[in-house]
Amino acid sequence: MNRIDAAFARLKQAGRKGLVGYLTAGDPDRAASEADLDAAIAGGLDVLELGVPFSDPTADGPVIQAASQRALAAGMDVDGALEIVAGLRRRHALPIVLFGYANPFFRHGYDRLCADAAAAGADGLLVVDMTFEEAAELQPDMDRHGLYRIPLIAPTTPPARAARILTGARGFVYYIMVTGVTGARARVAADIDRHLRALRQCTDLPVAVGFGVSNGAQARAASAAADAVVVGSALVKAAREGRLPALVSELRAALDAP
Amino acid sequence: MPTQPDNMGHFGIYGGRYVAETLMPALEELDRAYREARSDPAFQAEFRRLLADYVGRPSPLYLAERLTAACGGARIYLKREDLNHTGAHKINNTIGQALLARRMGKRRLMAETGAGQHGVAAATAAALFGMECDVYMGEEDIVRQAPNVRRMKLLRARVVPVSSGTRTLKDAMSEALRAWVAAVEDTFYVIGSVAGPHPYPLMVRDFQRVIGDETRRQIVEKEGRLPDMILACVGGGSNAAGIFYPFLEDRAVRLVGVEAAGLGLASGKHAASIVGGQVGILHGSKSYVLQDGHGQILNAHSISAGLDYPGVGPEHALWADTKRVEYCGITDDEAVEAFYRLTRLEGIIPALESAHAVAEAVKRARGMAGDGIIVVNLSGRGDKDMGIVKVE
């Protein structure tokens, strides 16, 4: 069983909401990044999204853009991110999803990427600028190496398209709560429940909601109709401000509160 | 030679749609609307009317006699896109896209710009149709292309400075894509080149093909035959795609795309994505890209802001692979020399972008017989470059 399926099955059994945490690999350097990742995981992440930095992250807001620049300046690349995954895998059992942009993966070679990622202990890939149509070029390699492609659904995605994207999808669905790039928002979108009800019509997969969640109260509100909440930019920012363990505790407590 | 992409915009292995899912429905809506407009005679008639009465088409095809004499070879004709309203070929495309935006009921335009020629053309179309317009422009380009910034502001466009990365066209396009993700429901993104996700490369090439269609009629009228060679500068590649496309099937016509070799290909400081890059994925499509061994996009360099971009349209990548079009590089110094030469011999001040094509044409003309015919796409005028070249 893929670790992603196992993690969501355990959450469901325990009646808990999941916390999916994103951090950029190698931000601000390899050693500090690994320490941050250990701290966040110890604080109670259920799934880790490890960002592979890219020079031109067109779906990311200023916080993750800056994190990517710091990581690249410190020499991070796909190989480095996979070494971090391998290190984490020796210490932790949680599912790890590589989150990145198409070009570094394409340049690495899809087959080599999937073989190396599976060997390092990754469980899935989320390529943010690869529509599911284009992902057809990557899918056979992912399947061969047992990696899940995590599908993204946006508020703008029409139901018929969502159904096509989710046919044969595995792991969990990442629902983007806002029409915009990653990063904190003052308020969490209002009509998520309606969108998620529609989404549940075409999939039995667990649904994680993300984009814009930065504190416990927002996480709690966003999790109402979802199975898990994704927090990214806020964790990246907290890590640089020395507040990472505090923020993870806050998110965990908010999601676990009765 | 496939001249139409597949339904997902693939030109061979190139093109496609590498974008955030949030943008996909907008691209599908645009694709549907464009396909309808493309086969709607009323849309095409309105487009042609505006190209004639507003842009000032057809642009002349001019025999540059003194330049020809100075080279001592083939006759050099200039396709005078510099004489269009707003001073470059960019207006052909922005009129087409703004007409489409109006047809789709969109009231806001947004655009990225490097040299500012596309930004000015987008701002002009917005003014013509009574629309709002945001133009994303790198801070470095805002400084080096100041006259165009003033023109855009005068046209009531909002110029949004982009401070990320190298603060040039690449970063302006990244920021425009981010802004579009956030405003996709009511905003039409007017991409200025044959780049980006499908259907932009196809649509922009269609709106620009008027350059090649006119050239064909004009050269046959003047010379009684097709030219031996056509040259155009290639950044993203819209002026080149526009003049090359109608000649693709005429195998005897050599097509030459001139990329910006900057400080020289060996220096690593250039913008020659085809000649000096590898296959990659940038800004929505797969094509040739300047990148390092880890797939990180490299900074381009060119003296001309309009060519200073590390990618190129996907159809050019296919034309390069099939060898239907030859691609080569011209350095900053060679382009500046051609800029002065054309100015002094013909009284035509070219855009630094177009000067790259002129420089290559001068080299090629010398090696050809006197009855040879070369057409250079003079894609824009150089008024905007007064702050870059020295006036002695």
Instruction: Say whether pTM exceeds 0.90.
Output: yes
Instruction: Give the span between the Cα atoms of B232 and B234, in whole angstroms.
Output: 6
Mean pLDDT, rounded, for B124-128: 98
Kindly give the parts of chain A with pLDDT less than 70: 188-190
Q: Calculate mean pLDDT across residues B176-191.
A: 92
Kindly list the distances between the CA atom of residue B25 and the CA atoms of A67, A156, B134, in Å, as whole numbers in the listed order.
29, 7, 22
Nearest to B174 among A56, A154, A161 (CB): A56
**CA A146-A151-A152 angle, 5° bins:** 155
**φ and ψ at B234, to 5 degrees?**
-130, 115
- Identify the weakest region by mean pLDDT among B40-49, B100-109, B136-145: B136-145
Element containing residue B351 per DSSP (H, E): none
Q: What is the pLDDT of residues A128-164, one digit of tens each?
A: 999 999 999 999 999 999 999 999 999 999 999 999 9
Q: What is the ipTM of this complex?
A: 0.95
- Portion 92-111 of A in contact with B at CB < 8 A: 101-108
> Hey, what's the torsion of the CAs at B336, B340, B346, B349, to 10 degrees?
70
Query: Cα–Cα distance between B59 and B242 in angstroms, integer?
Result: 13
Query: By C-alpha distance, which of B19, B8, B9, B14 is closest to B176?
Result: B19
- Which residues numbered 162-181 in A keep a CB inside 8 Å of some CB on B? 165, 176, 179-181
pLDDT at B232: 98
Which among A137, A136, A177 has a CA at the least distance from the CA of A155?
A: A177
CA atoms of A15 and A9, how far apart (whole Å): 10
Task: State the catalytic residue, choosing from A60, A123, A227, A250.
Answer: A60
Contacts of B171 in chain A (CB under 8 A): 56
CA proximity to B126, closest of B198, B56, B187, B59: B187
Alpha helix stretches (DSSP H) within chain B? 24-38, 41-50, 65-71, 90-103, 117-129, 139-144, 146-154, 169-183, 200-208, 210-223, 238-244, 273-276, 314-321, 332-346, 352-366
The answer to whether the Cα torsion of B161, B167, B170, B175 is positive or negative is negative
Q: What's residue B3's pLDDT? A: 67
**What span, in angstroms and rounded, lies between the C-alpha atoms of B174 and B193?**
14
Q: What is the 3-state secondary structure (H, E, C) of chain A?
A: CCHHHHHHHHHHHHCCCEEEEEEECCCCCHHHHHHHHHHHHHCCCCEEEEECCCCCCCCCCHHHHHHHHHHHHCCCCHHHHHHHHHHHHHHCCCCEEEEECHHHHHHHCHHHHHHHHHHHCCCEEEECCCCCCHHHHCHHHHHHCCCEECCEECCCCCHHHHHHHHCCCCCCEEEECCCCCCCCCCCCCCCHHHHHHHHHHCCCCCEEEECCCCCHHHHHHHHCCCCEEEECHHHHHHHHCCCHHHHHHHHHHHHHCC
Q: Which of B90, B106, B286, B384 is catalytic?
A: B90
pLDDT in tens, B80-98: 999 999 999 999 999 999 9
Q: Which of A58, A70, A112, A191 to mutate to test the interface with B (most CBs of B within 10 A)?
A: A58
CA A56, CA B297: separation in Å to the nearest integer?
7
CA distance A122 to A147: 8
At B4 the pLDDT is 84
Phi, psi at B3, each rounded to 5°: -105, -5
Contact (CB<8Å) B295/A158: no
pLDDT band at B301 (very low <50, low <70, confident <90, very high): very high
Name the pLDDT band for B161 (thresholds 50, 70, 90).
very high
Whether B112 is catalytic: yes
| Domains by residue range for chain A, with CATH | 3-256 (3.20.20.70)
**B337: annotated active-site residue:** no
AA identity, residue B289? V
User: With 90 as the cut, is the pLDDT of residue B205 above it?
Assistant: yes
Q: What are the backbone angles phi and psi of residue B107, rounded to the nearest 5°?
A: -110, -10
**Residue B73 per-residue DSSP state:** S
Give the A:B interface size as CB pairs under 8 Å: 116
- In this complex, which of B21, B25, B178 lies closest to A181 when CB atoms are compared? B178
- pLDDT tens digits, A32-65: 999 999 999 999 999 999 999 999 999 999 999 9
Chain A residues near residue B112 by CB distance under 8 angstroms = none
CA atoms within 13 A on the CB side of B350: 32
- Cβ-proximal residues to B22 (8 Å cutoff; 6+ apart), any chain: A59, A154, A155, A156, A157, A176, A179, A180, B181, B184
- Chain A hits for B289, CB-CB cut-off 8 Å, are 103
Report the half-sphere exposure of B273 (CA within 13 A, side-chain side).
Answer: 32
Looking only at the bridges linking them, the beta strands covering B158-162 and B373-378 are unpaired
- For chain B, how many helices (H) and strands (E)? 15, 14
Measured between alpha carbons, how far is residue A26 from residues A67, A126, B23, B98 in Å?
9, 18, 29, 43
- The whole-angstrom distance between residue A7's C-alpha and the CA centroid of its chain comes to 14
d(CA B242, CA B81): 11
Q: Is the pLDDT of residue B378 over 60?
A: yes
Pairing state between β A124-127 and A148-149: parallel
Percent of chain B with pLDDT over 90: 92
Whether B58 contacts B218, CB under 8 Å: yes
Query: Distance between CA B187 and CA B101 in Å, rounded?
Result: 9
**Of A248, A251, A162, the residue nearest A207 (C-alpha):** A162
* Inter-residue contact A94 to A50 (CB < 8 Å): no
State the average pLDDT for chain B: 96
Closest CA to A97 of A133, A134, A141, A45: A45
Q: Which two tokens stand for residue B29?
A: 């809506």
Active-site annotation holds for A83: no
Amino acid making up residue B284: G
Confidence of residue B144 (pLDDT cuts 50, 70, 90): confident
Chain A residues within an 8 Å CB radius of B295: 54, 78, 103-108
Residue type present at position B256 = V
Q: Is the pLDDT of residue B1 over 70?
A: no
What is the distance between the alpha carbons of residues A75 and B301, in angstroms, rounded to a whole number? 23
Tell me the β-bridge partners of A99: A51, A126
Q: What is the pLDDT of residue A192?
A: 84
Rg of chain B on CA atoms, in Å: 19
- Give the separation between CA A145 and CA B370, rounded to whole angstroms: 63
Q: What torsion, rounded to 10 degrees, do the Cα atoms A187, A190, A196, A198 define?
A: -150
A68 to chain B: closest CA residue: B296
